[in-house]
Amino acid sequence: MKTFTHRSTFRLALLVAALGCLTITGCREAAEDAAFREFEEEFGSGGTTANTSTDGGDTSDTALNTITDEPVDFEFADLVKPFDPPPLEEIISLNEWADKPVLDAVELMRERQAGEQQLATPAEALALKNSSVANNNKIISAMGRLAQEGEVNYSAEWNRHTAGDIKSTNPLMISSTAEFDVAGLTNMGLFGFDWNFVPFASTDVVVSWQTSANGLYDKVVMRDDLRWSDGTVITAHDVAYSYQVIMTSSVPIPAVRSGTDQLKYVHAYDDHTVIFFHNESLATNVWNINFPVIPKHIYENTVPEDPTMAKSEAHVALDENPITGGAYQITKRVRGQEIVLKRRESYYIVDGKVVRRKPNFETIRFHIVENSSTALLALKKGDIEEMQLSPEQWQSQTSGEEFYKNNTKSYALEWVYYYFGWNNRSPFFRDVRVRQAMSYAFNHQELLDRHRFGLDEAAQGIFHKTSRWAPTTLPAPYTQDLDKAEDLLAAAGWEDSDNDGVLDNIVELDSDFDGKIDGKRRMRFEFTILVSNKQERIDICTLLQENLDQIGIRCNVKPVEFTTLQQLSRDHQFDAIFAGWGTGADPDTSENLWTTKAIDAGRNYGCYSSKIVDQLFEDGKRELDPEKRAAIYQKIHLQLWDDQPYTWLYFRNAYYGFNRSLRGYNYSARGPYNYGPGESTIFKPAGMR
């Protein structure tokens, strides 16, 4: 995800953002806080890129506006350093090559399930209420079974829910959850990763994938039976061209450039052979080569005229009717209402022969419903057939007959953690003892029991214990201890010296959060925590407020609209913030949350800076041995835990409601979609309504 580089004075931008959000909220009055749900917790990046995900999916808003409003000089692929690719024979003969996996994700899942015991039949599972862990396991096991021969009803339609509309259908422009969901079905890419986040090339697209022994080249041979939806052959030139478009600075790419920009060059030697050149041998190279592909024969004419890829007549028409390479194509789009995808026959039938697996649905219809209460009613009625549930809905609104009549529900762990982030440039939270005191002051047990209904797990740092990057013995989670919190605060100099019931201390000021100290002053411990304007989140912040009030700290809770929250956090203009991060497929993706260089160029909103952590991330990138690499990230985990730049709160499970007619859904640590095979194994059995 891009930081917002064309920053004029930030205050102006802030005001613009604030006014911008106003117009939005203004017209959505009736829809309550619906608009914000769109950006709920989710991902800044999904299936195709490997970035760490973000609390709110969408940063393109301001970034796009800022960039496009400035006059741009178009220079194609200006971010690529001049490079003359050597002849193919030379590269092949001078290097040793190792084969990398080319896999069929569906078969991979089939193999996994062959080794698992099926705990119940679908009929038994549908008779169950999901009221216990045992029942949840049975439902997941039974409903996740893949289709047997002849079981799939290929003429079925799947009505999906999405909380927000997509801004663009161009796969290079993806940044919000909804866009990733749609792109996952319509877009074609060379690579994927499984539920363990192990990367592979897909047999649907790739014949072979090899990496040179020195780690500087990746050679991919593509299949020759790939077709765009307009019938043109998909070639290696499309891949090389897409790389160059991504690397054109005047094209406002919100998310997919990060990672791709680590490549040295991408060159197509013929229609099917493409070589990815790397600057150095990194563990993250396998993720950097994974980017979406767009048709060269279409865009090579339109991009020079309109580098924004959104404004010209041709681009508007393309956005309406995109030429896609994936299994589905967009046939209808009603803004704010629905997006209709149809199975593309030319995807799996080429020259009259079936060359790929037939996609399971004839039609996939995304219903855009912003308000989650409305969406739940639609799910109960059967108008939509899947949706993510809030814990409150899971707990109290989906246990009755009216829900189970058409649906069932299941949940699984998702690596999305929530936290209170303390700004290290704030006069209050520069001292590690204060940050630890915050973690001791908060009533974690009540959070889990009362606010998370006892369903979510406490977060013990940046990696979940089931991740191979987490330390083998995790530090014990913080529990509330107000005495200890007060002792730590006293040690850091915070006491009530003026007898007003509120702690105070002489602190160094940095009023514009730029890292420069402007002076010293005695200050009351009174700060503001920012939170996006959603009741369940505000409630968690008010619990913090109550706990801190008990030990003489005033905490103001300030709910703000999502874009404003993004803007303020990017500019480090806050004392504290409540938010969450999803997981990237590779641990290196959290580099842009924790390293010093990410303060200005990444998403290190809280300005955490540690030489040790900076160095460890550098080492982790270069260490190719999986064991040693894991050890590095375990150290990072522990170092961050010691420094408590965040008070880690909980991992939010993925709670989903599915229509009874759906089968074949399985969860990864990123939820049921956006991994391999993800949504592609979901089907409706033949013989059902």
Partner 1 sequence: MTDNNQQPSGALTKATRSPGFWVLAWRRFRRRKLSMLALAVVMCLSGIAVFSPMIAGTKPIVCKYKGNLYFPCLAYFNADWENPIFHKDRFRKRYPRNLREKDPESWAIYPLVFQDPYRPVRDGEWQDKNGDGEWVDRPGNPYHGGLPSKLNFFGTYKRGVDVFASMVHGTRIALLVGFVSTGIAAFIGITLGAIAGYMGGAIDMVISRIIELVMCIPGIVLILALIAVIDKINIWIMMAILGLTSWTGMARLTRAEFLKLKQSEFVAAAQSIGAGPLRIMFRHILPNALAPVMVPIVFGIAAAIKVEAGLSLLGFGAPPPNPSWGTVLNAGTSNYTEWWQIVFPGIAIFITILAYNLIGEGVQEATDPRLADPKD
Give the pair of three-digit tokens for residue 552.
Answer: 């003489």
Q: What angle do CA 535, 442, 567 make, to 5 degrees?
A: 50
Give the pair of three-digit tokens for residue 468.
Answer: 């191979």
CB 163 within 8 A of CB 178: yes
Q: Any idea which residue has 């996740």 for tokens?
A: 144
The least distance separating partner 1 from the CB of residue 571, rounded to whole angstroms, comes to: 13
Angle between helices 626-643 and 611-622 (to 10 degrees): 160
CB 33 within 8 A of CB 534: yes
Residue 551 touches partner 1, criterion: CB under 8 A:
yes
Residue 14 touches partner 1, criterion: CB under 8 A:
yes
CA–CA distances in Å: residue 588 to residues 199, 287, 567 = 14, 10, 24
Residue of 564, 589, 609, 668 that binds partner 1 (CB under 8 A): 564
CA–CA distances in Å: residue 687 to residues 139, 153, 161, 407, 649 = 21, 7, 24, 18, 46
Q: Which stretch binds partner 1 (CB under 8 A): 238-246, 360-368, 526-534, 652-660?
A: 526-534
Residue 514 touches partner 1, criterion: CB under 8 A:
no
The least distance separating partner 1 from the CB of residue 561, rounded to whole angstroms, comes to: 7
Residue 8 touches partner 1, criterion: CB under 8 A:
no
The total number of residues written for the chain in this structure = 689
Residue of 3, 10, 32, 216 that binds partner 1 (CB under 8 A): 32
Q: Which stretch binds partner 1 (CB under 8 A): 23-31, 96-104, 578-586, 647-655?
A: 23-31
The least distance separating partner 1 from the CB of residue 545, rounded to whole angstroms, comes to: 7
Residue of 68, 136, 308, 395 that binds partner 1 (CB under 8 A): 395
Per-position x/- string for 440-459, each x denoting binding to partner 1 as judged by CB under 8 A, each - no binding: ---------xxx-x------
Give the pair of three-digit tokens for residue 64.
Answer: 């796009």
- Nearer to partner 1 by C-beta: 533 or 668? 533
Which neighbouring-strand residues pair with 222?
Answer: 206
Q: Which of residues 374-393 bind partner 1 (CB under 8 A)?
A: 392
CB 283 within 8 A of CB 622: yes
Residue 21 touches partner 1, criterion: CB under 8 A:
yes
Residue 548 touches partner 1, criterion: CB under 8 A:
no
Residue 29 touches partner 1, criterion: CB under 8 A:
yes
The least distance separating partner 1 from the CB of residue 258, rounded to whole angstroms, comes to: 28
Q: What residue type is assigned to position 346 of the chain?
A: S
Residue 373 touches partner 1, criterion: CB under 8 A:
yes
- Nearer to partner 1 by C-beta: 17 or 268? 17
The least distance separating partner 1 from the CB of residue 457, rounded to whole angstroms, comes to: 18
Q: Which of 66, 64, 52, 74 is nearest to 10 (CA)?
A: 66
- Nearer to partner 1 by C-beta: 449 or 518? 449
- Nearer to partner 1 by C-beta: 17 or 282? 17
Rounded Cα distance between 424 and 576, Å, is 9
Residue of 68, 137, 542, 639 that binds partner 1 (CB under 8 A): 542
DSSP state of 475: P
End-to-end CA distance of the chain: 42
- Nearer to partner 1 by C-beta: 47 or 552? 552
- Nearer to partner 1 by C-beta: 284 or 563? 563
Rounded Cα distance between 162 and 195, Å, is 22
CB 163 within 8 A of CB 685: no
The dihedral built from the CA positions of residue 85, 87, 90 and 91, taken in this order, carries a sign that is positive
The least distance separating partner 1 from the CB of residue 440, rounded to whole angstroms, comes to: 13
Q: Which stretch binds partner 1 (CB under 8 A): 106-114, 236-244, 343-351, 549-557?
A: 549-557
The dihedral built from the CA positions of residue 658, 660, 661 and 665, taken in this order, carries a sign that is positive
Residue 363 touches partner 1, criterion: CB under 8 A:
no
Q: Which stretch binds partner 1 (CB under 8 A): 15-23, 197-205, 261-269, 677-685?
A: 15-23
- Nearer to partner 1 by C-beta: 91 or 543? 543
Rounded Cα distance between 483 and 54, Å, is 34
Residue of 71, 499, 625, 689 that binds partner 1 (CB under 8 A): 499
Q: Which of residues 460-489 bind partner 1 (CB under 8 A)?
A: 482-483, 486
Q: Which of 181, 260, 227 is nearest to 671 (CA)?
A: 181
The long-range contacts involving 108-111, CB below 8 angstroms and separated by at least 24 positions, are 108/194, 108/676, 108/677, 109/146, 109/666, 109/677, 109/681, 110/146
Q: Which of residues 579-598 bind partner 1 (CB under 8 A)?
A: none
Residue of 510, 561, 588, 643 that binds partner 1 (CB under 8 A): 561
Q: Which of residues 226-255 bind partner 1 (CB under 8 A)?
A: none
Q: Which of 73, 197, 217 is nearest to 582 (CA)?
A: 197
Q: Which stretch binds partner 1 (CB under 8 A): 64-72, 266-274, 499-507, 599-607?
A: 499-507
CB 599 within 8 A of CB 475: no
Rounded Cα distance between 311 and 154, Å, is 38
* Number of residues binding to partner 1, judged by CB under 8 A: 53
Q: Which stretch binds partner 1 (CB under 8 A): 22-30, 75-83, 227-235, 580-588?
A: 22-30
Residue 58 touches partner 1, criterion: CB under 8 A:
no
Beta strands in 269-319 (DSSP E): 273-278
Residue 501 touches partner 1, criterion: CB under 8 A:
yes
Give the pair of three-digit tokens for residue 678.
Answer: 């993800």
Residue 510 touches partner 1, criterion: CB under 8 A:
no
Residue 149 touches partner 1, criterion: CB under 8 A:
no
- Nearer to partner 1 by C-beta: 479 or 535? 535
- Nearer to partner 1 by C-beta: 235 or 564? 564
Residue 393, classified by CB atoms within 10 Å of its CB into exposed (0-12), middle (13-18) or buried (19+), is buried
CA–CA distances in Å: residue 34 to residues 58, 184, 369, 375 = 15, 25, 9, 11
Q: What angle do CA 608, 613, 615 make, to 5 degrees?
A: 130
Residue 518 touches partner 1, criterion: CB under 8 A:
no
Residue 528 touches partner 1, criterion: CB under 8 A:
yes
Residue 300 touches partner 1, criterion: CB under 8 A:
no
- Nearer to partner 1 by C-beta: 450 or 521? 450
Residue of 236, 560, 630, 649 that binds partner 1 (CB under 8 A): 560
Report phi then psi at 592, rounded to 5. -80, 10
Q: What residue type is assigned to position 72 of the chain?
A: V
Q: Given the rule CB under 8 A, which residues bind partner 1?
A: 14-15, 17-19, 21-22, 25-26, 29, 32-33, 372-373, 392, 395-397, 449-451, 453, 482-483, 486, 496, 499-502, 528, 533-535, 538-539, 541-543, 545-546, 549-552, 554, 556-561, 564
